[in-house]
Amino acid sequence: MILLHGDDTEKSRAHLSKIKQDYEEIVTLDGKNLQQSDLLQALEGASLFGDKKLVIVEGLFSKKKEEQIFIYLKNNSFPNLVLWEGKEITKRDQMLLGSKFSVYSYKLPALIFKFVDLVGTGKIKEALVIYDELLEQVAPEVLWFMLVRQWRFMLLAKKTDEEEPSDFQRLQVWQKAKLTQNGKAYTLDKLKAFYRQLLRISYREKSGAANLPLEKQLEMLLLFELSK
């Protein structure tokens, strides 16, 4: 039994893909809406064609109140089970699983948070100084995602009159205060413009219209922002 967790989801997904290669049948369950009966059926039921079956549960720890599922996993052993979490699971929460799981943690480097903070506070020049070093540690796709997330949250922090989405609601008070403080480096219009540019980069990547690598597109966006 394996637990893959951490905010570096690209690396944890790569690990998961490698595990999948050893199985003919893959069953993926949504942990957020998982019923114990469905988990039992997936783990204890035979494969339809007798193939080697892998059971993946994603986001199980969002249902910590479902104690019976964790008791069931703690008291049994299933070598074909993988739990995947797109966030870090604390040692305390890992104890809900017992000691039979092999745990792999994938954390984003601290440098990426420094970079995002620098860009978020308008310190583009300082951010560009560490840009190349950062790309040695994370893929440009991860960097793009972190920038999009930061800008989306800063926009939400400015537009307090709108209903907050669930992921923004889960932020701590100090995190929201920091987003509000960081957002002061930009007007609402500038935040929207930068956010639109990030989304355009994503569109070009997905449509095949990009004529530069993603890391160069992000660098040019930052240089353009610096030149304003």
Both tokens assigned to 124: 């583009």
Tell me, yes or no, whether 139 and 166 share the same domain. yes
Tell me, yes or no, whether 100 and 116 share the same domain. no
- Backbone φ, ψ for residue 26 (5° rounding): -120, 125
pLDDT per residue as tens, the chain (228 positions): 999 999 888 899 999 999 999 888 899 999 888 888 888 888 887 666 666 889 999 999 886 556 888 888 889 888 899 999 988 999 999 998 988 999 999 999 999 999 999 998 889 999 999 999 999 998 899 899 989 988 888 888 776 655 666 666 666 676 767 777 776 777 888 888 888 999 999 999 888 888 889 999 999 998 887 666
Last residue in a domain, options 52, 81, 105 = 105
Tell me, yes or no, whether 25 and 75 share the same domain. yes
Tell me, yes or no, whether 46 and 10 share the same domain. yes
Going by C-beta distance under 8 Å and a sequence separation of 6 or more, which residues neighbour residue 13?
84
* Position 126, amino acid: E
Tell me, yes or no, whether 131 and 75 share the same domain. no
Last residue in a domain, options 105, 138, 158 = 105
Tell me, yes or no, whether 119 and 97 share the same domain. no
CB 111 within 8 A of CB 130: yes
Tell me, yes or no, whether 75 and 122 share the same domain. no
Could you give the number of structural domains in the chain?
Answer: 2
For 41, the domain range is: 2-105
DSSP alpha helix (H) spans, 100-187? 110-120, 124-129, 131-135, 140-158, 166-169, 173-182
User: Among 117, 72, 128, which Cα is nearest to 96's?
Assistant: 72
| CATH (domain of 188) | 1.20.272.10
Tell me, yes or no, whether 36 and 72 share the same domain. yes
| CATH (domain of 71) | 3.40.50.300
